[in-house]
Amino acid sequence: MQQEFYAHGKLLIAGEYLILHGAMGLAIPVRYGQRMRVSTPADMSAEIHWRALTDEGKVWMDVQLRAADFAITQTQAGTEKEITQLQKILQTVRAQKPDYLKDARGLLIEHQLEFPRTWGLGSSSTLVSNVSAHAGINPFVLHKSVFNGSGYDIACARSKWPVLYRIDDEGPVYDTVHFMPPAPEQLVFVHLGKKQDTQVSVDAFLSGGNNHAEYIEIISELSEALMFCDDAADFIQLLDEHEEVMQYVLQQEKIKTQLFADFPGSVKSLGAWGGDFVLAAAPMEPTALQQYFTDKGFTTVIPYLDMFLKQ
């Protein structure tokens, strides 16, 4: 008998950082995700055999765990940090659902990404979503307990549509929405090649001690304005306004000034500033738009229409 679970990756188009303090964020699920299979092969001797594969099918974590307490009994691959995080996820599930995998015998749990781990599309959130589905628990509660993030990525993991997402006093609130930027052929996602540790960025921002209340409303309005915008020039202006606000909030120079000062459009950071993907928009032919970034040495340039989750 085999069970299979699937979760979508994500990109936060608007609302980064301040979404942690209640700002409205606009996020999209992407066509790349993570699949998890649970089976009981006849030749398995370990209680729980956990294996993680890259998008190329290479094993990056391979451990055997004791069902009683998720202690590691054998390690074939994986760093101490990665294995400890897996144990924390499983132990947190067990705290919420005491019988989870308690009587597991000869169980193989294998999950595989559809995107490179360096892309920052949600390797952790898709794992949390899949494990939660397998355990039958609330994925937002599990994610908050382990990672302390906003949870927008969890909303995307199980959605086929973009989401408007915020956190209020009672927890996450979100709606699925129709969102397609004007002139989407003039938008690309560019990977900067510097994988950011989202948890480190979240912790650093939250430890700053300032909830930036005066900017939360501005960012929320920009998120909604981007969703409803139907003019390409206005869309670019809204992206620039968002960057200007966040540059002031973070006291960090925006990525366009750092790397793309001569770009004839907008370059907006997505998620943790300084790495992972940026969204670039300009009134250019699609081939010329992509060529601009490849000429500067950025090899991963994905058209918007190839990244977003098609219905």
Tell me: do 263 and 132 sit in the same domain.
Answer: no
The CATH number linked to 265 is: 3.30.70.890
Q: Of 153, 176, 199, which residue sits at a domain end?
A: 176
Q: Of 176, 194, 220, which residue sits at a domain end?
A: 176
Tell me: do 48 and 161 sit in the same domain.
Answer: yes
Tell me: do 172 and 191 sit in the same domain.
Answer: no
Tell me: do 151 and 79 sit in the same domain.
Answer: yes
Place of tokens 């989202």: 198
Percent of the chain with pLDDT over 90: 81
Tell me: do 117 and 266 sit in the same domain.
Answer: no
Tell me: do 119 and 154 sit in the same domain.
Answer: yes
The predicted pLDDT at position 264 comes to: 97
Tell me: do 29 and 159 sit in the same domain.
Answer: yes
Q: Which tens digit of pLDDT belongs to each residue from 87-102?
A: 999 999 999 999 999 9
The radius of gyration of the chain's CA atoms, rounded to the nearest angstrom, is 20
Q: Which tens digit of pLDDT belongs to each residue from 190-210?
A: 999 875 555 555 555 555 556
Could you give phi then psi for residue 113, rounded to 5 degrees? -80, 155
Tell me: do 191 and 291 sit in the same domain.
Answer: yes
pTM: 0.91
Tell me: do 172 and 198 sit in the same domain.
Answer: no
**Torsion angle defined by CA atoms of residues 138, 139, 141 and 142, in that order, rounded to the nearest 10 degrees:** 120
Number of domains in the chain: 2
Provide the 10 A C-beta neighbour count for residue 267: 23
- Alpha carbon 120 to chain centroid distance? 6
Tell me: do 147 and 98 sit in the same domain.
Answer: yes
Residue 268: both structure tokens together: 């907006």
Tell me: do 147 and 233 sit in the same domain.
Answer: no
Residue 49's pLDDT band (cuts 50, 70, 90) = very high
Place of tokens 């559809």: 114
The predicted pLDDT at position 86 comes to: 96
Q: Of 123, 147, 176, which residue sits at a domain end?
A: 176
The CATH number linked to 119 is: 3.30.230.10
Range of the domain at 9: 2-176
Tell me: do 130 and 190 sit in the same domain.
Answer: no
The predicted pLDDT at position 100 comes to: 95
Write the single-letter amino acid at 65: L
β-partners of residue 166 are 173
